[in-house]
Amino acid sequence: MRPERCGIALLLLVAACTSHPRAPSTTGQEPWTAAPADVSHGEAAVGTTAAPAPVDPRASAPSTSRLVKIRFETREAKVAIAPGVLYEAWTFDGRVPGPVVRVTVGDTVDFTLVNRAMMPHSMDFHAAQIAPSRAYTNVMPGDSIHYRWMPEVPGVFLYHCGTAPVAMHIANGMYGALIVDPARPLPPAREFVFVQSEFYTQKAADTAGVQQLDWNKLLGLGPDHIVFNGIANQYADHPIHVAAGEPIRLYVVDAGPNRVSAFHVVGAIFSRVYVDAVTAHAWEGVQTVDVPVGGGMIFETHLAEPGTYPFVTHAFADATKGAVGIFEAR
């Protein structure tokens, strides 16, 4: 081809590629004639605000006692992990995630773990600085363990069962978030807690459709559901109300056991992100931050005007599997 013909062909190709694309059709035959309605960044339908989500995402108030007593029981429980999907979970207090714990730097945490389950379990507090060989030991069925520790570093931290194989105990639901407030409180804000995690499922034997862990899917890094606070899409099905413009603080923990959370709020920029510890060296003006498996971060932002704002892991295959929610700003 002569050079000038080559140039014309290139121009035509560029024009074809940059002209307005035709929307995909549902059948592959006909173009869409209207934009799809009620979608949250394309991953999950925006549901009703008439009822709250199954798991309340609001953070509790900071601790007021300098001695914080925590007593958890480990037990098996069937929990909902997606609409119509029940899972045979291993739990702290019958919930996945376990209860959110909130303490303040310098408190004494008085912790008791009672094992009501059929196998050994344990507790690993990422917020503690303590000998695992003393505190994170296995508790046999019917037995208990008690120890005290003092939180020294403010931030939001994972806690989880540390019994081997740890991936199995975490994938079955044994984790939660622990907030350590600094001695000098952060400024007032609307506060929420989100724990991201995965479920790897197969139908359990002798049950009517209840799911249980598929170990090979876990080792193959192929989760069926990726969730915030234990249930796929629950905050898209039941959006979270906030006021437009008000300061928002999000405590985000990634329990995994395998997938990093590329945490992002569509339509917002984080004014401040505390990477684990609350220090003077927070990141400012960032769009997406990876929360590592086993890590926690505190995100501060606001929603500029009334509307719906999805929050996601920006690893969008994972958002498609359920790690998406909606803030509805009024």
N-terminal to C-terminal alpha carbon distance within the chain: 60
Considering the complex, state which of residue 116 and residue 272 has its C-beta at the smaller distance from Cu ion.
116
Smallest distance from Cu ion to CB 313, Å: 25
> In whole angstroms, what is the distance from residue 65 CA to residue 81 CA?
34
User: Left if phi > 0, otherwise alpha if psi is -120 to 50, otherwise beta: which for 286?
Assistant: beta
Considering the complex, state which of residue 98 and residue 322 has its C-beta at the smaller distance from Cu ion.
98
Find all residues with CB under 8 Å of 140, minimum gap 6, and list them. 115, 120
Considering the complex, state which of residue 116 and residue 217 has its C-beta at the smaller distance from Cu ion.
116
Smallest distance from Cu ion to CB 90, Å: 6
- Per CB under 5 A, the segment of 60-68, 93-101, 167-175, 270-278 that binds Cu ion is 167-175
Considering the complex, state which of residue 214 and residue 328 has its C-beta at the smaller distance from Cu ion.
214
> In whole angstroms, what is the distance from residue 228 CA to residue 195 CA?
5
Considering the complex, state which of residue 141 and residue 306 has its C-beta at the smaller distance from Cu ion.
141
Considering the complex, state which of residue 139 and residue 180 has its C-beta at the smaller distance from Cu ion.
139
Tokens of 73: 């029981």
State the residue for tokens 């997406």: 288
Considering the complex, state which of residue 121 and residue 314 has its C-beta at the smaller distance from Cu ion.
121
Nearest to 66 by CA among 100, 103, 101, 102: 103
Smallest distance from Cu ion to CB 121, Å: 3
Q: Would you say 195 and 255 are in contact if contact means Cβ atoms under 8 Å apart?
A: yes
- Per CB under 5 A, the segment of 62-70, 171-179, 183-191, 221-229 that binds Cu ion is 171-179
Q: Pick one of 63, 91, 115, 163: the residue that binds Cu ion (CB under 5 A).
A: 163
Smallest distance from Cu ion to CB 163, Å: 4
- Per CB under 5 A, the segment of 27-35, 154-162, 239-247, 322-330 that binds Cu ion is 154-162
- Per CB under 5 A, the segment of 79-87, 156-164, 218-226, 240-248 that binds Cu ion is 156-164
**In degrees rounded to 5, what are phi and psi of residue 80?**
-80, 130
Beta bridge partners of 156: 179
> In whole angstroms, what is the distance from residue 260 CA to residue 251 CA?
15
Q: Pick one of 89, 161, 170, 255: the residue that binds Cu ion (CB under 5 A).
A: 161
Q: Pick one of 79, 101, 135, 174: the residue that binds Cu ion (CB under 5 A).
A: 174
Considering the complex, state which of residue 143 and residue 152 has its C-beta at the smaller distance from Cu ion.
143
Residue 20 is given by DSSP the state: P
3-class secondary structure, 58: strand
Q: Could you give the C-alpha distances from 83 to 211, 234, 321, in angstroms and in order?
A: 13, 9, 12
Q: Would you say 291 and 280 are in contact if contact means Cβ atoms under 8 Å apart?
A: no
Does residue 160 interact with Cu ion by CB under 5 A?
Answer: no
Q: Which positions from 101 through 130 interact with Cu ion, judged by CB under 5 A? A: 121
Q: Pick one of 126, 169, 264, 302: the residue that binds Cu ion (CB under 5 A).
A: 169
**Which positions touch Cu ion (CB under 5 A)?**
121, 161, 163, 169, 174
